[in-house]
Amino acid sequence: MTRLRVAILISGSGSNMVKLVQSMTGDHRGRAVLVISDVANAPGLGRAEELSIPTHFIEGCEKFDSALDTALNEARVDIVCLAGFMRILSPEFVMNWAGKMLNIHPSLLPKYRGLHTHKRALDAGDSQHGCSVHAVTAALDSGPILGQSTLDVAPDDTPHSLASRVQKLEHVLYPAVLKRFSCGDTSLLTLS
Protein backbone atom coordinates (compact mmCIF):
# COMPACT_ATOMS: atom_id res chain seq x y z
CA MET A 1 0.00 0.00 0.00
CA THR A 2 1.29 3.44 -0.91
CA ARG A 3 1.43 5.67 2.15
CA LEU A 4 0.35 9.28 1.87
CA ARG A 5 2.32 11.90 3.77
CA VAL A 6 0.08 14.17 5.86
CA ALA A 7 0.91 17.59 7.30
CA ILE A 8 -1.28 19.13 9.99
CA LEU A 9 -1.50 22.91 10.46
CA ILE A 10 -2.39 24.24 13.91
CA SER A 11 -2.55 27.51 15.84
CA GLY A 12 -3.48 26.31 19.32
CA SER A 13 -3.80 23.26 21.56
CA GLY A 14 -3.72 20.70 18.78
CA SER A 15 -6.51 18.48 20.11
CA ASN A 16 -7.75 17.64 16.60
CA MET A 17 -4.15 17.15 15.47
CA VAL A 18 -3.62 14.55 18.21
CA LYS A 19 -6.75 12.64 17.16
CA LEU A 20 -5.66 12.72 13.50
CA VAL A 21 -2.16 11.45 14.34
CA GLN A 22 -3.53 8.70 16.58
CA SER A 23 -5.91 7.57 13.83
CA MET A 24 -3.19 7.12 11.20
CA THR A 25 -2.16 3.57 12.06
CA GLY A 26 -2.74 0.09 10.68
CA ASP A 27 -4.49 0.08 7.31
CA HIS A 28 -4.89 3.88 7.23
CA ARG A 29 -3.12 5.13 4.09
CA GLY A 30 -2.05 8.39 5.74
CA ARG A 31 0.88 8.99 8.05
CA ALA A 32 1.57 12.27 9.83
CA VAL A 33 4.99 13.58 8.81
CA LEU A 34 4.86 17.22 9.92
CA VAL A 35 2.97 19.61 12.21
CA ILE A 36 3.27 23.31 11.39
CA SER A 37 2.11 26.27 13.45
CA ASP A 38 1.93 30.00 12.89
CA VAL A 39 2.12 30.48 16.69
CA ALA A 40 5.56 29.92 18.21
CA ASN A 41 4.31 28.77 21.61
CA ALA A 42 1.24 26.83 20.44
CA PRO A 43 0.72 23.97 22.93
CA GLY A 44 0.02 21.66 19.99
CA LEU A 45 3.68 21.81 18.94
CA GLY A 46 4.70 20.18 22.21
CA ARG A 47 1.96 17.60 21.86
CA ALA A 48 3.20 16.75 18.36
CA GLU A 49 6.76 16.34 19.65
CA GLU A 50 5.44 13.96 22.33
CA LEU A 51 3.95 11.92 19.47
CA SER A 52 7.33 11.95 17.66
CA ILE A 53 6.01 14.08 14.79
CA PRO A 54 8.45 16.69 13.42
CA THR A 55 7.30 20.26 14.02
CA HIS A 56 7.91 23.57 12.33
CA PHE A 57 7.04 27.16 13.25
CA ILE A 58 6.55 29.73 10.51
CA GLU A 59 6.36 33.35 11.56
CA GLY A 60 3.25 35.18 10.43
CA CYS A 61 4.84 37.53 7.94
CA GLU A 62 3.91 38.59 4.40
CA LYS A 63 5.93 35.66 3.02
CA PHE A 64 4.12 33.12 5.20
CA ASP A 65 2.39 31.26 2.35
CA SER A 66 5.64 30.94 0.42
CA ALA A 67 7.47 29.58 3.48
CA LEU A 68 4.59 27.19 4.16
CA ASP A 69 4.60 25.94 0.57
CA THR A 70 8.36 25.34 0.77
CA ALA A 71 8.08 23.42 4.07
CA LEU A 72 5.28 21.21 2.71
CA ASN A 73 7.14 20.47 -0.50
CA GLU A 74 10.40 19.71 1.33
CA ALA A 75 8.47 17.19 3.47
CA ARG A 76 6.93 15.71 0.28
CA VAL A 77 3.42 16.19 1.71
CA ASP A 78 0.44 14.65 -0.09
CA ILE A 79 -2.41 15.91 2.13
CA VAL A 80 -2.69 19.04 4.29
CA CYS A 81 -5.11 19.07 7.24
CA LEU A 82 -6.03 22.40 8.82
CA ALA A 83 -6.85 21.65 12.45
CA GLY A 84 -7.57 24.77 14.45
CA PHE A 85 -5.37 26.75 12.08
CA MET A 86 -6.56 30.34 12.37
CA ARG A 87 -4.74 31.97 9.48
CA ILE A 88 -6.43 32.65 6.13
CA LEU A 89 -4.32 31.31 3.28
CA SER A 90 -3.88 33.17 0.00
CA PRO A 91 -5.87 32.13 -3.08
CA GLU A 92 -2.56 31.29 -4.82
CA PHE A 93 -1.52 28.93 -2.03
CA VAL A 94 -4.94 27.28 -1.97
CA MET A 95 -4.85 26.81 -5.75
CA ASN A 96 -1.44 25.11 -5.50
CA TRP A 97 -2.83 22.61 -2.96
CA ALA A 98 -6.33 22.25 -4.44
CA GLY A 99 -7.79 18.80 -3.91
CA LYS A 100 -5.18 18.02 -1.23
CA MET A 101 -6.31 20.20 1.67
CA LEU A 102 -9.01 19.65 4.32
CA ASN A 103 -10.38 21.81 7.14
CA ILE A 104 -12.54 21.16 10.20
CA HIS A 105 -15.07 23.88 11.01
CA PRO A 106 -17.28 24.12 14.12
CA SER A 107 -20.65 24.61 12.45
CA LEU A 108 -23.00 22.83 10.10
CA LEU A 109 -21.80 24.53 6.95
CA PRO A 110 -22.93 26.46 5.01
CA LYS A 111 -24.21 28.04 8.25
CA TYR A 112 -21.86 30.24 10.24
CA ARG A 113 -18.72 30.51 8.17
CA GLY A 114 -15.92 32.25 10.03
CA LEU A 115 -15.70 32.84 13.78
CA HIS A 116 -18.00 32.70 16.86
CA THR A 117 -20.05 29.85 15.42
CA HIS A 118 -21.43 28.56 18.74
CA LYS A 119 -22.71 31.97 19.86
CA ARG A 120 -24.21 32.56 16.43
CA ALA A 121 -26.04 29.21 16.53
CA LEU A 122 -27.42 29.97 20.00
CA ASP A 123 -28.41 33.53 19.04
CA ALA A 124 -30.29 32.12 16.03
CA GLY A 125 -32.17 29.64 18.23
CA ASP A 126 -30.89 26.63 16.29
CA SER A 127 -32.08 23.26 17.62
CA GLN A 128 -29.10 21.46 16.05
CA HIS A 129 -25.45 22.37 15.74
CA GLY A 130 -22.29 20.47 14.90
CA CYS A 131 -19.18 20.44 12.79
CA SER A 132 -18.14 20.01 9.18
CA VAL A 133 -15.05 18.82 7.33
CA HIS A 134 -14.64 20.42 3.93
CA ALA A 135 -12.19 20.66 1.11
CA VAL A 136 -10.38 23.99 1.25
CA THR A 137 -11.05 26.51 -1.50
CA ALA A 138 -10.15 30.18 -1.81
CA ALA A 139 -13.54 31.25 -0.39
CA LEU A 140 -13.65 31.05 3.42
CA ASP A 141 -15.25 27.82 4.69
CA SER A 142 -16.99 27.31 1.35
CA GLY A 143 -15.38 24.21 -0.16
CA PRO A 144 -17.24 20.95 -0.84
CA ILE A 145 -18.47 19.40 2.41
CA LEU A 146 -17.01 15.93 2.98
CA GLY A 147 -18.43 15.19 6.42
CA GLN A 148 -20.79 16.52 9.07
CA SER A 149 -21.69 15.51 12.60
CA THR A 150 -24.65 16.91 14.52
CA LEU A 151 -25.92 17.24 18.06
CA ASP A 152 -29.06 18.66 19.65
CA VAL A 153 -28.64 22.06 21.28
CA ALA A 154 -29.59 21.87 24.96
CA PRO A 155 -31.78 24.58 26.53
CA ASP A 156 -28.98 25.48 28.98
CA ASP A 157 -26.13 25.45 26.43
CA THR A 158 -23.70 28.35 26.44
CA PRO A 159 -21.14 29.09 23.74
CA HIS A 160 -18.54 27.42 25.97
CA SER A 161 -20.56 24.25 26.67
CA LEU A 162 -21.56 23.98 23.03
CA ALA A 163 -17.93 24.37 21.92
CA SER A 164 -16.88 21.58 24.27
CA ARG A 165 -19.60 19.24 23.01
CA VAL A 166 -18.91 20.03 19.34
CA GLN A 167 -15.19 19.42 19.83
CA LYS A 168 -15.96 15.83 20.87
CA LEU A 169 -17.76 15.39 17.54
CA GLU A 170 -14.78 16.89 15.68
CA HIS A 171 -12.43 14.33 17.28
CA VAL A 172 -14.45 11.51 15.68
CA LEU A 173 -15.48 13.11 12.39
CA TYR A 174 -12.14 14.50 11.20
CA PRO A 175 -10.19 11.21 11.48
CA ALA A 176 -13.05 9.35 9.76
CA VAL A 177 -13.15 11.80 6.84
CA LEU A 178 -9.36 11.84 6.50
CA LYS A 179 -9.24 8.04 6.28
CA ARG A 180 -11.86 8.04 3.50
CA PHE A 181 -10.21 10.99 1.73
CA SER A 182 -6.83 9.22 1.75
CA CYS A 183 -8.48 6.41 -0.23
CA GLY A 184 -9.99 8.83 -2.75
CA ASP A 185 -13.51 8.81 -1.24
CA THR A 186 -14.98 12.32 -1.25
CA SER A 187 -18.60 11.31 -0.71
CA LEU A 188 -20.41 12.95 2.19
CA LEU A 189 -20.03 11.22 5.55
CA THR A 190 -22.80 12.05 8.04
CA LEU A 191 -22.46 11.17 11.73
CA SER A 192 -24.83 11.95 14.58
| Active centre residues (catalytic) | 105
| Angle at the Cα of 32 from the Cα atoms of 56 and 13, rounded to 5 degrees | 60
The length of the chain in residues reads 192
| Strand-strand pairing, 145-152 and 79-82 | unpaired
DSSP annotation of 187: S
3-state SS of the chain: helix, strand, coil percent to 5? 35, 25, 40
Measuring CA to CA, how many Å separate 88 from each of 68, 125, 139, 167? 12, 29, 10, 21
Distance CA 11, CA 57 (A): 10
**What residue type is assigned to position 178 of the chain?**
L
Distance CA 45, CA 55 (A): 6
Q: What is the number of other CB atoms lying within 10 angstroms of the CB of residue 67?
A: 14
